[in-house]
Amino acid sequence: MKKVLITGGAGFIGSHIVDKLIMNDYKVVIIDNLLTGSINNLPQSDKIEFYKNDIYKDDIEFIFDRERPDFCIHLAAQTSVAYSEKKPVYDANLNIVSSIKILELCKKYNVKKYLTASSAAVYGMPKTLPITEEHPTKPISFYGISKLTMEKYIELFNLPYVIFRFSNVYGPRQFSSKESGVIAIFHDAMLNNKEINIFDDGTQIRDFLFVKDIAQIVLLTIESDIVNKTYNFSSNTGININKLFVMMKNLYRYNKSPNYLPPRIGDIKDSILDNSQIKSIFKEFKNTSLENGLKELYLSKIC
């Protein structure tokens, strides 16, 4: 039984990857400080070893020494553009310094492949849509800078790696706060009949990626011979925020109108990632449609 170590494995994206790995007979080692993750996100399984540790603050080498993982999926991170503008040192510590720490341990303990999550934010304002991997990287937020810097460290570490630049991820278990993704915020507000704010005029376009699609593509990548590559992963389909609001409003039977507020610092106007490179490798893979993903999200909270 092969062993995968996941940082942030009790979080939104990580827990769905854990589900997929367990179903495919992997042993999973999770490191999570539970600040945003939850034990309740994880299945009951004797294939899981859980360590409540902080990858930045704690000495975690003993975990690598004890567990000797075959693969590492590094997901623990600061994930908010807005929060990175308020707390750039915190953002850099989590996204750069902690990543270096994990990379050093992976190299020391001969991890076969290192996978991690980057972001569309590394591209900055797009010159063309959809954005390919060859698009210039010119971040306009501290978050984007920290993710791009992390990528550069990985490339120089002489460790087999795959980097995924994800678009806007949504789905069950996503924590809702002022700093989280727009679908999670809309979902929570509509379920609880709260007011909804839309920044800018709502015409900005986003590419929304269902979280279970990430779990599937990560599994396929672990089991492939792909190494030393950086890929976009997205739905390759854009929708503006006003249309998303109407789509969710009808599904949730929500009756309020949104409040429009000024744009936020660091927000990109339009973003759609081209996923043709990774889809050309895994031709059998099919993205979940936004309609079906939103239905699953809706049912996950009302059943």
Catalytic (active-site) positions: 143
| Chain centre to alpha carbon of residue 83 | 16
DSSP state of 65: H
CB 27 within 8 A of CB 6: no
> d(Cα 179, Cα 266) in Å, to the nearest integer?
13
> d(Cα 148, Cα 225) in Å, to the nearest integer?
24
The DSSP element (H or E) to which 34 belongs, if any, is none
- Give first-to-last CA distance, the chain, whole Å: 35
Beta strand 3-7 pairing with 71-74: parallel
Establish how many alpha carbons lie within 13 A of residue 76's alpha carbon, considering only the half-sphere containing its beta carbon. Answer: 29
Exposure string for 8-29, b = 16+ CB within 10 A, e = fewer:
bbbbbbbbbbbbbbbeeebbbb
102: alpha, beta or left? (left if phi > 0; alpha if psi -120 to 50): alpha
CB 165 within 8 A of CB 119: yes
